[in-house]
Amino acid sequence: YANKFIELNSENESDNIRIQVSEIIFVKSADNYVEVGFRDGGEFRKKMIRNTLKNIEKQLKEFNNFVRTHRSSIVNIQYIDKLNKNFNNYWLTVIDTNETIPVSRQYLMAVEDLL
């Protein structure tokens, strides 16, 4: 999978993004868009595309290094720094970014099994 590329499609074809699978750090939903966090030449970047998280999840299904952590996010497990807990809230810190990825109780067991 390290050398595989994936085409993440947008409803308006101009925003399609062709990216190496191993460079995708996370995908978060944002209303009618998804925000893709990825590495570009060692630099962290984000891009918004008009699509649903469900559609992106289907595209990433064949690669076993992605995990759904919340109804609003998917993360590449190779970029997970650590799982944090504060009272009843869980979130992931991600390597090389200032991003925090929420983890809901529904997906907590699956995330813990991978770490």
pLDDT tens per residue, the chain (115 residues)?
A: 668 999 998 887 778 899 999 999 999 999 889 999 999 988 999 999 999 999 999 999 999 899 999 999 999 999 999 999 999 899 999 998 989 999 999 999 999 998 8
Concatenate the DSSP letters of all residues of 5-41 into one string: EEEE--SSGGG-EEEEGGGEEEEEEETTEEEEEEEET
- Which candidate, 12, 56, 13, places its Cα nearest to that of 34? 56
Q: How high is the pLDDT of residue 54?
A: 94
Q: How high is the pLDDT of residue 13?
A: 75
Q: What are phi and psi of 50, to 5 degrees?
A: -85, 100
Q: How high is the pLDDT of residue 50?
A: 93
- Quick check: 27 and 53 in contact, CB under 8 A? yes
- Which candidate, 108, 105, 92, 89, places its Cα nearest to that of 37? 92
pTM (whole model) above 0.85:
yes
CA quadruple 100, 102, 103, 105: dihedral sign: positive
Rg (CA), the chain: 14
